Structures are given as structure tokens and as C-alpha cells.
Amino acid sequence: MAFKRTIHAVDTHAGEPMRVITGGVPHIPGNTVHEKMVWLRENDDQLRKLMLREPRGYPPLCCNIIVPPSHPDADAGYIIMEQVEYPVMSGGNTISVVTVLLEMGMLPMKEPVTELILEAPAGLIGIKAECRNGKVKSVTFKNVPAFAAHLDAKIQVPHLGEVTVDVGWGGMFYVIADVRQFPHIELTPEHGAEIARISAMIRQAAIEQLPVAHPDYPGIGITISQLSGPTDSPDADWKNAVTVASGELDWDNPSTWTGALDRCPCGTGTCAKMAILHAKGELPLNQDFRHQGVLGNVFTGRLVEETRIGDYTAVVPTITGTSWIYGLNTYVLDHDDPFTEGFVVSDIWA
């Protein structure tokens, strides 16, 4: 064989680059997509590293694997891979997976609306895709329930002092801080390095000081952070910048106080933010919440019902957004390549 591994993928973005693997991955054992995710994490984590690290990837990149669903109602399954974890759910990645499945003909497209069900590691995700002239114009998905875990909590962040934060679940646990606590920062690309630095420090302090637990996913803690604030755009209600970890933070090594900004408005981050606003009485059910990302594009969220997750009062959110295909690629690993898991260098990686 010419190559040790050959992976076929479609590259997409919603601002954030999100790769979708469509072929080249052997059978992944497991009775559910969640079990497949766990097996992959424990037995073939090389694939995640190979696709997300250099030379095939870089810090902001996410990656998904299309897999057969286990649930009889699901049309397809997918596993989400990010730089330091396998999230059970991701909004931007879901929108990208739907776009690839339909525009590449892997599932039939029906115009003007295609309805389908995907199986994420978190469970079944209902999809409505607006389609026109063979293109996916927007995707709306009904997410898993979201809830607030901590409201207006005070944490001590080394070198920053006291910071007030909220913690919410939207498919991942987010620590969210109002950016107005840091008057020198604006939620713009020009402030990206400082946003990443402060967000990474807040995330680590929250991990250490604010315990969280999801009844269905024991062991999953806070893994991601969001700076949030008002917007001057007439097309949005709120603005955010989510920072994804690109390595472990070491308080004794300032070069690790960084991460990669999510370039899209962030679907699960929007769900977490909406759950927090609802818990504070600031966002009712059935009202659009237009959430602007650091590049200016918008995901529109809506809370459609209340429910419960364990002891938490929760809400069921929907998210609408758009992703675009920008590449059709075959990635390979040469037999003689010594970097079988890719590599990272601390000029751009934590």
C-alpha cells in the first residue's frame, strides 16, 4: 500500500473551520454513536490528532466523522473531534455535517425543506434544512436540553483578580464572563490574542473553583470559555467570542495561557448563553436570540420548551445557522512519515 492511512474529507466553515470525514475510517465498534465515540477516544485517538494537528490542521480546526447510526429513527451518525476532547454535541459541527450530507448527495435533498434526524454522541438531533438550487441555505437543529449550573459566581483568577461568571451546559460546559469586566477588550478579531489569553485563564480558574456535573455524562467538566457582551449590530442581540483550548494551561508557564477563538457564533455556546439568560429571567420561551460571533456572522437561537435534567430546570433550544463547503480533500499518512500523530509547536499552540 502506498500510504498507512488515507482519509477522505470535505472541509467546511461557518467562520470556524469544520472538517467532515466521509471515508477511509475503518469500522468503529459500539452499539450507539456515544459508544463509538468512547471506543475511538480510547483506541484510535491517533486519528483525531492526525487530522487536527499540523501539518493537516491548526488550532481552530474541528473534525467530524460520519458513522452509521444505531437508532432506527436516525438517518446518519457523527462523532465530533476537537483539539483536546470529544464533545458529545457541537452546534457549528452539526450544521456543517448536515451541509455535507445533503450537498454531497450522501442523503437525499428535498427542496425547499429537508427534514432528517442525526445521531450525535449526545443523542438524537432533529434537523430542518432550507435548501434551494441544490444548496443548503440554512440549517436549524433542535439541541439537547440546556441549563444553568452557576449564576453570577465569583472566582479568583490569578493575575486578573475577581471575575464574575456564569456556567451553562449547551452540549458542553461553558464558563461565560461579561466582557465589560475588561474595558481594554473588544470582541473583534483585532483583540483575538487578548481574548484567548483572558478566556483561557478564566476557564482554568473556573475548572478549579466551580464544580459541575451532568447527570447523563459523569466526568465531563468545564472545557470551554466565552466572553460575552452587547453588540451595536442591528442584526444581532448579543455578541460573543468563544475560546477553545489548544492544550493544557500551566499557571507557571504564561505561554500556555492561550487558546483558539471559535470563528463562528458557536451553537452550543449560544444554547448555554440562552439557558443562563432564561434562568435570570431575561429571555422568555419562543423569542429569537440572534448571537453574533467575532467575525460578525450570526446564529439565531430560540428556546422552545422547558424541561428538567436531573435536579436542574432546563430548556430545549433550537439553533439556525449556515456553513459553507470550501474544500474536497484526500489526506494521507505516509509509511515513512515519523509524525504519525501530527505535531504542535508553541508559537501558535498552547
Query: What domains appear along the chain, each with residue ranges and CATH number?
Result: 3-144+324-334 (3.10.310.10), 146-316 (3.10.310.10)
Amino acid found at 124: L
Contact partners, residue 49, CB within 8 Å, separation at least 6: 341, 342
Q: What is the pLDDT of residue 76?
A: 98
Inter-residue contact 11 to 103 (CB < 8 Å)? no
Is position 90 annotated as part of the catalytic site? yes
pLDDT recorded at residue 350: 86
Count Cβ neighbours within 10 Å for each residue of 110-126 and write b for 16 or more, e otherwise: eeeebebbbbbbbbbbe
Residue 189: is the preceding peptide bond cis (ω within 30°)? no
Question: Cell 483506541 sits at which residue?
Answer: 43
Question: What are the beta bridge partners of residue 1?
Answer: none
Alpha-carbon distance of 84 to 225, in angstroms, equals: 14
Phi-psi group of 117: left, alpha or beta (phi > 0 → left; psi -120 to 50 → alpha; rest → beta)? beta
Peptide bond into 112 cis (omega under 30): yes
Question: How long a stretch of residues is the chain?
Answer: 350
| Catalytic residue, candidates 90, 199, 228, 323 | 90
Weakly modelled stretches of the chain, pLDDT under 50: none
What cell numbers appear for 37 in the block?
465515540
